[in-house]
Amino acid sequence: MTEAMKSIKINRLLKRILIWRNKLSLKSHLFSFAEKMNGAENVLICLPGKQESFELAKDHLTIFADIFQNKKISVFLPFAGAESLLSHLERYVVIYPQKEDIRIFSLPRRGFIQRIKDHHFEIALDLDLEDGFVNSYLCLKSGALVRIGLEGKAGFPFYNLQLAPSKERSSPEDLYVGMAETLKNLSQGFSVGRKENRSLI
């Protein structure tokens, strides 16, 4: 990642407003991940914006790509000016904003959001293990019926399948492996716990 690339960080106050507003307006519902998985054709995977986290997530992309076999996988990079990274992600459709796609408070503009929606993603997966809210926001705005993220981030409705780390999963590497194992199990018909669509990894 070069110095020219800058991670997108949404204003904290705006983040709180967006979380509050969306939690009031949207309701949760139970669903079968296996059924959604079988019917899905397009998958969005969001990578972290921090350099160290980005490199680690990129190195683990293949274990998630193996879960979504025979599906078109797109990768979102949460920073502008990502052209230099394209050669490392040739296997995927890569989506990233230009500077003109970002408006005040670092929110993506409507035109960029519409370009995300035009891909008709059925599943969106956020690999940011920290508080990268731009990924949470895009998962919701993508229109994906299944939106997957770690528990403890923005929560519902940004994610309607939240993966809860167990105490044994402490390192980022272990978390990615746990996420992949859990999604593989869920895709094979194992049930999701509780009404919030929460599963332990």
On whether residue 26 sits in a domain, the answer given is: no
d(CA 186, CA 162): 12
Residues of the domain holding 62: 6-18+33-200
Q: Which residue has the tokens 């998985």?
A: 37
pLDDT digits (tens, 9 = 90+) for 57-106: 999 999 999 999 889 999 999 887 666 666 678 889 999 898 899 887 77
Name the average pLDDT for the chain. Answer: 85
Give the mean pLDDT of 10-24: 79
Number of structural domains (the chain) is 1
pLDDT of residue 174: 92
On whether residue 28 sits in a domain, the answer given is: no
| More confident of the two residues 18 and 110 | 110
Q: Report helix, strand and coil shares of the chain as percent, to nearest 5.
A: 40, 20, 40
pLDDT digits (tens, 9 = 90+) for 128-185: 998 778 999 999 999 999 999 998 888 899 999 999 888 777 899 999 999 999 999 9
- Give the percent of the chain with pLDDT over 70: 88
On whether residue 143 sits in a domain, the answer given is: yes
On whether residue 154 sits in a domain, the answer given is: yes
Model confidence, pTM: 0.86
d(CA 13, CA 71): 37
On whether residue 27 sits in a domain, the answer given is: no
Chain centroid, CA 184 distance in Å: 17
What is the phi/psi pair of residue 115, to 5°? -65, -35
On whether residue 38 sits in a domain, the answer given is: yes
> The domain that contains 129 carries what CATH number?
3.40.50.2000
d(CA 66, CA 44): 14
Residue 8 scores a pLDDT above 90: no
Residue 4 scores a pLDDT above 50: no
| More confident of the two residues 193 and 24 | 24
What is the phi/psi pair of residue 84, to 5°? -70, -15
pLDDT digits (tens, 9 = 90+) for 180-200: 999 999 988 765 544 456 676
Report which secondary-structure segment, H or E, holds 134: helix 133-141
pLDDT digits (tens, 9 = 90+) for 32-66: 888 998 899 999 999 998 888 888 999 999 999 99
On whether residue 25 sits in a domain, the answer given is: no
